[in-house]
Amino acid sequence: MKITVYINNNKIDKSHIKLFNEYIKRLPNNMKVTTKKLSDNISKKDDRYLIGICPSGKNLSSEEFSNEFYKIHDDRRVKEICFVLYPSQHIKCNQTISITSVETNDDMALVILAEVLYRAWGIKHNRSYHK
């Protein structure tokens, strides 16, 4: 499954990139996670599922996020899951969720999202990390 994280800031601090990569390398090889600079012309497609990340989004427990993520992940129609950090009102996402109760910058949101993805994988595969 292709996973793309769209960010507003094209200058992420190197220490945050290192932390992001630390979590991402723990994911299985079939979960390819990349980052791209966000533009307003990104859109939903039949094979692309957009998830907006912002504090006002729906709060999900770790287990709920894992279940929701893998429901999308396992949908054969979806070829790419896109996480959009702080989407503008011009970007129409399939859903918007919150990964933290406080507003953060792109640097920290990127790291938190990587940790949340790793935790979701751990829950799906009965790893004890998430507790």
78 in any annotated domain: yes
Is residue 103 scored above 80 in pLDDT?
Answer: no
130 in any annotated domain: no
In this prediction, residue 91 carries a pLDDT of 87
DSSP code of residue 58? E
Q: Strand pairing of 32-37 and 95-98?
A: unpaired
Is residue 124 scored above 90 in pLDDT?
Answer: yes
What CATH number corresponds to the domain at position 77?
A: 3.40.1280.10
Q: How many separate domains does the chain show?
A: 1
Determine the Cα–Cα distance for residues 36 and 116; give it in Å rounded to an integer: 19
99 in any annotated domain: yes
131 in any annotated domain: no
Decide: pTM greater than 0.85.
Answer: yes
84 in any annotated domain: yes
129 in any annotated domain: no
115 in any annotated domain: yes
69 in any annotated domain: yes
**Which has the closest alpha carbon to 110: 2, 35, 40?**
35
Highest mean predicted confidence (pLDDT) among 10-19, 23-32, 64-73: 64-73
Determine the Cα–Cα distance for residues 117 and 60; give it in Å rounded to an integer: 13
DSSP H helices in the chain: 14-24, 62-73, 106-124
Domain of 61? 2-124
Determine the Cα–Cα distance for residues 90 and 121; give it in Å rounded to an integer: 31
